[in-house]
Amino acid sequence: MAEENEFPAMKNDRLLRAARGEEVDVVPVWAMRQAGRYLPEFREERAKCDFFTMCQTPELSCKVTLQPLNRFPLDAAIIFSDILVIPQALGMEVEMRPGEGPVFPSPLRGPEDLTKLASPADVCSKLEYVFDALTLTRKELQGKAPLIGFSGAPWTIMAYMIEGKGSKTMSNAKGWLYKYPEASHQLLKIITDATVNYLVGQAKAGAQILQVFESHAEHLGPDLFRNFALPCLKQICDEVKERVSQLGLKNIPMIVFPKGGHFALKDLAALNYEVIGIDWTVDPILARQIVGPNKTLQGNLDPCALYADKKSIDGAVKEMIQKFGRDRYIANLGHGMYPDMDPEHLAAFVEAVHKYSKK
């Protein structure tokens, strides 16, 4: 376990302050997929190396995690990795195919395949490389910004394990929920237990805040979400916080991001996550009414707004901050950046957040 005092002192902790509901000088800002192919220096590293080899090499993961911070005054670094390292650690093969994204050559076909999965108790021993990348990156950051660790949420991971790749309908994975509800709960339990161990490991290694990506929330209506997603998200938050406290570490703030899950905001506000991320389809004023005053909101500029000219980006950010207000707020996009975006337009986004949120 990395000791808190072996890390450099924080020079900028406004993301952590905003997550905890404390006062900030300006609104903190970062961007989902801020380390990625829109940066030429990332493409240069990526050309030399397979995606998962990059994830598995702490020096490389650290290097590309820091790339966006070397360019822009971002208020957070997010460790370069992927949510699919959990299915890998459970024994499944995952390939990252150019132009296609992640592919599982042998996805789960039916409940009988659950016996092939490794024990959730063993995942941490296979994910040491992520912990090493976090510890190294936390040191290399020199306190410039907090380091975000992350995982996928169980339903989102389950969907990939069954679909084997991206899907418009998620009909195979949703088919499990209707055909095999018991096996679905068993699979979700395996993923949930693995995720708790993994996130506790990340906190021990130096992650300062944890984001759980429920990227496939949009495929579940309110009932399926309540039955198959919400209990796992609750267990993850409660158990991670409990175990982090037992280890004598200070409370680690947690973010839940239900992409497309506007219908779930009220239920999520009842959990112990400090921060709720919203995508661009949710009106910030409505989101605040639903979640109440005691949660920090994160979001939610349409990523495609970064295709506009810099003056339009500036105007869109001004409007966004007016809607969210400057308290209990972390500025972000409503989802990840795309590879064909202009880095200078992210610079305009970050600059505008700081400019319009000064006291």
Find the shortest distance in angstroms from Cβ 167 to ligand CP3.
Answer: 11
| Spatial separation of the C-alpha atoms in residues 188 and 231, rounded to whole Å | 10
Judged by beta carbon, residue 213 or residue 225, the one nearer ligand CP3 is: 213
Work out how close the CB of 294 gets to ligand CP3 at its nearest, in angstroms, rounded to a whole number. Answer: 26
The percent helix, strand, coil of the chain (3-state, each to 5) is: 55, 10, 35
Nearer to ligand CP3, 46 or 226 (CB): 46
Q: 166 or 181: whose CB is closer to ligand CP3? A: 166
Return residues touching ligand CP3 (CB under 6 A): 32-37, 46, 51, 78, 80, 82-84, 96, 101-102, 150, 166, 213, 215, 259, 336
Least separation in angstroms between CB 194 and ligand CP3: 16
In the beta sheet, which residues pair with residue 329? Answer: 297
Distance CA 103, CA 280 (A): 27
Question: In sequence order, what are the beta bridge partners of 213?
Answer: 152, 257
Of 131 and 213, which CB lies nearer to ligand CP3 in the complex structure?
213
CB atoms within 10 A of CB 170: 22
Q: At its nearest, how many Å lie between ligand CP3 and the CB of residue 359?
A: 29
Q: Is the Cβ of residue 136 or residue 326 nearer to ligand CP3 in the bound state?
A: 136
- Residue 76 structure tokens: 């957070």
Q: Which is nearer to ligand CP3, 23 or 59 (CB)?
A: 59
Give, for 172, the enclosing helix (H) or strand (E): helix 171-179
Shortest distance in whole angstroms from residue 348 CB to ligand CP3: 19
Could you tell me how many residues make up the chain?
359
Do 268 and 257 meet the contact criterion of CB atoms below 8 Å apart? Answer: no
Strands 95-97 and 101-103: antiparallel
Beta bridge partner(s), residue 212: 151, 256
**In the chain, beta strands by DSSP E:** 77-78, 95-97, 101-103, 147-152, 209-214, 254-258, 275-277, 296-301, 329-333
Catalytic residues: 33, 37, 46, 82, 160
- For residue 248, with 0-12 CB atoms within 10 Å meaning exposed, 13-18 middle and 19 or more buried, which class applies? exposed
User: Shortest Cβ distance from residue 37 to ligand CP3 (Å)?
Assistant: 5
Helix (H) or strand (E) holding 124: helix 123-126
Name residue 147's beta-bridge partners: 77
Backbone dihedral angles phi then psi of residue 190, each to the nearest 5 degrees: -60, -45
Determine how many CB atoms are found less than 10 A away from the CB of residue 267. 18
Closer residue to ligand CP3 in complex, CB, 196/337: 337
Pull the structure tokens for residue 113: 């395949």
Other C-beta atoms closer than 10 Å to the C-beta of 101 total: 12
Name the residue among 18, 83, 95 with its Cα closest to residue 52: 95
Q: How far is the CB of 337 from ligand CP3 (least distance, A)?
A: 8
